[in-house]
Structure 1
Amino acid sequence: MKKYTLFLPLLLLPFILSSQAKYDSVSVLLLDRMSNVLGELTSCNFTLRTMVDEQDVNGSTITHFRNHSVSMAGPDKMTVDTYNEKGHHQYWYDGTVLNYYSHKENNFVTIPAPPTIISAIDSIHKNYEIEFPAADLFYPSLTDDLIENFDVISYAGRAVINEKPVFHIMAQSAYMELQLWISDDSYNLPYKYMIIDKESPERLRYEATFLKWELNPDIPESIFRFIPPPGAKEIKILSVNDIQKQPE
């Protein structure tokens, strides 16, 4: 992963803010610092609570709430355990395949995957449109990606959320707004972020809050291997290309 060295203490960051810059130095340093810390982790556990706005068939906005428990180890191991109003489902990735299991339906899917978490997320999202919670923040190219996709990135100052001191960063483009809160402590881990769709009249949003971080825990490799429960049925899912090839 991309590495950065920060020689400037975070306490001095507000004093180097350039009011003329579209991508101010405070925000860039904080983003790089967060990416550096995430990139140097050998493993982690965290809980993620998400809120997602969607429109129903009548045009009303409905907010869906989801809880995710995530574990990652090295470059090639990940599990995601998700609860939402539709039930309980899990993902297991072991460096060769991704398995998805629905507890409600008692069925599972096995998808061949590239040999790293980031490449697997990219491939599976592209080919099957499966999204992984908060995946964007773990890309080593995060800062460059934000600069490429947003017109302005600014430092909005310090804040306190649920008694947690945080740094507040905002990014704006013509079609999207991103707000990111990074913990104001030695680790500078992501605490919360929000994406707002400015093109929708309802300004639909996605919001995620990180809780219960565990850094570099000793995670048994066995938890990344999927074992089908008794009676579970393997099913197939079509890729985006397969769907496009189907006759109308």
Structure 2
Amino acid sequence: VRDLGMRLPLAALLLNRLPAELQDRVRSVNYVEKTSIYGTASHHLAARTDTVDLQVWVADGDKPLPQRIVLTYKKAAGQPQFWAQFIDWNLAPQIDNATFSVQIPDGLQKVAFAAQLPRAAPAAAKPSAKKGGK
């Protein structure tokens, strides 16, 4: 995120410190309503951080999984939104080596990202170590 200068909207969900991140960043949370997302009874919650407004719909019942997340970047020009829909959860996936192998179709090529790494500040001129020198 830092090196490429890209926003990865749901990156925090991949952090093992997600609860602490939420505790540090969220300023308020409100219960909006009980509603339905694609036929699943869900609780709609709205939260605010300093830079992002967050809405999440969580399934009601014994599997309280996220159904939808909407992020609004309230300090960015135009207040862009990111929407993610979570359906057909699989909490016991069958994973084998093929899951992590890639078959690149003929004719495709890798797109290189030009990382925007911070430039080092020019070294400041150091005063002479000699005192009273010419």
Kept after mapping to 1: 8 A contact 2:31/2:45 = yes
Q: Secondary structure at the match of 2:106?
A: coil
TM-score (norm 2): 0.68
* CA deviation map 1:136-195 (0-9, x unaligned): 223232222122122112333432233211122221234431111111122211111111
AA aligned opposite 2:106: P
- 1:223 and 2:112 equivalent? no
Report which of the two has the higher share of strand.
Answer: 1
Q: Flag the 1:135–1:168 CA change in 2: closer, same or farther, 3 A.
A: same
Q: Flag the 1:142–1:169 CA change in 2: closer, same or farther, 3 A.
A: farther
* Alpha-carbon separation, structure 2, partners of 1:200 and 1:126: 17
Which residue among 36, 39, 45 is the counterpart of 1:160?
36
Equivalent residue, structure 1, for 2:88: 212
* Alpha-carbon separation, structure 2, partners of 1:180 and 1:136: 14
Q: Secondary structure at the match of 1:170?
A: strand
Flag structure 1 segments of 5+ consecutive residues without an equivalent. 1-124
CA RMSD of aligned residues (A): 2.8
Kept after mapping to 2: 8 A contact 1:147/1:153 = no
Report which of the two has the higher share of helix.
Answer: 1
Q: Flag the 1:186–1:138 CA change in 2: closer, same or farther, 3 A.
A: farther
Q: Identity percentage over the alignment?
A: 21
Equivalent residue, structure 1, for 2:69: 193
Shift of 1:231: 4.1
* Alpha-carbon separation, structure 2, partners of 1:189 and 1:180: 10
* CA deviation map 1:111-160 (0-9, x unaligned): xxxxxxxxxxxxxx332245556332232322221221221123334322
Q: Flag the 1:168–1:145 CA change in 2: closer, same or farther, 3 A.
A: same
Shift of 1:218: 0.9
Shift of 1:238: 2.6
Whose RCO is larger (CA < 8 A, sep 6+)?
Answer: 1
Q: Flag the 1:160–1:187 CA change in 2: closer, same or farther, 3 A.
A: same
Q: Flag the 1:214–1:161 CA change in 2: closer, same or farther, 3 A.
A: same
TM-score (norm 1): 0.41
Which residue among 5, 9, 12 is the counterpart of 1:136?
12
AA aligned opposite 2:11: A
Flag structure 2 segments of 5+ consecutive residues without an equivalent. 121-134
Aligned length: 120
